[in-house]
Copies of this chain bind each other. A is one copy, B any other.
Amino acid sequence: MSLTRVHNLSISLDGFATGEPQSLETPFGHAGERLHEWMFDTRFWDASGSAGVDDAFAQRNGYGIGAEIMGANKFGPPGWQDDPDWKGWWGPNPPFHTPTFVLTHRPRPPIEMEGGTTFHFLDATPAEALEAAREAADGQDVRLGGGAAVVREFLAARLVDHMHLVQVPIVLGRGSRIWDGLEGLEDAYDIEAVSAPSGVTHLSFTRKVAS
């Protein structure tokens, strides 16, 4: 069975997955790198990093994924749709290595990158995008890469099988909040929390199986 998974989505105590304003120079706005510092200290990120609980969660991001879906706000800074040469933040060899579906109201032809990543641009509902990604994933799982707005939409449509959030002990005050519109999410998911020595708390959401 092919699952839809969210991994390593970092949020502040007040639930913001990114700050503001987002731009080419400040992709995470006033949050800077503060939401992601926990990851820089893991072996997942750097071979000299730690192999503890943060690493255990982080590593799962890479296993068993056959396709990625991301929102327009993850692919580029505001206005990237006006730049015909924009090919994402990640250079010639992006870290996806699979078909990668970018949701945008202004689709363009696919872009084949090095290393197995091909960007496809879709103007589609979450369910339609998931159908396309699942077919491309060829039996493997689909990673939902963010940002917060896209994850919220997929959660609201109950299309996410497994979500891993990382709560970082800062209060951002503004940005894109993961929780909005998701009242009662606990009815659909088993939720587990575990705090790490680094100071972050890992939140795992596992979709309940209909009984």
A195 touches which of B13, B172, B184, B201 (Cβ 8 Å): B201
Nearest-CB residue, chain B, relative to A201: B193
Are B171 and A185 within 8 A (Cβ)?
yes
Q: In the bound complex, what is the Cα–Cα distance between A15 and B186 (angstroms)? A: 15
Q: Within 8 Å of chain B (Cβ to Cβ): is A83?
A: no
Are A191 and B172 within 8 A (Cβ)?
no
Q: In the bound complex, what is the Cα–Cα distance between A203 and B199 (angstroms)? A: 10
Q: Within 8 Å of chain B (Cβ to Cβ): is A21?
A: no
Number of A residues with CB within 8 Å of any CB on chain B: 28
Q: Within 8 Å of chain B (Cβ to Cβ): is A170?
A: yes
Q: Which of A88-96, A97-105, A173-181 contacts B (4 or more CB under 8 A)?
A: A173-181
Measured CB to CB, the closest approach of chain B to A182, in angstroms, equals: 5
Q: In the bound complex, what is the Cα–Cα distance between A174 and B181 (angstroms)? A: 9
Are B193 and A14 within 8 A (Cβ)?
no
What sequence of 0s and 1s flags, for each residue 147-188 of chain A, a beta carbon within 8 Å of any chain B beta carbon?
000000000000000000001011111100101111111100
- By a beta-carbon cutoff of 8 Å, the part of chain A in contact with chain B is 13-15, 167, 169-174, 177, 179-186, 191-195, 199-201, 203
The 8 closest A-B pairs by CB, nearest first: A173-B183, A14-B179, A169-B191, A171-B185, A193-B195, A195-B195, A170-B186, A193-B201
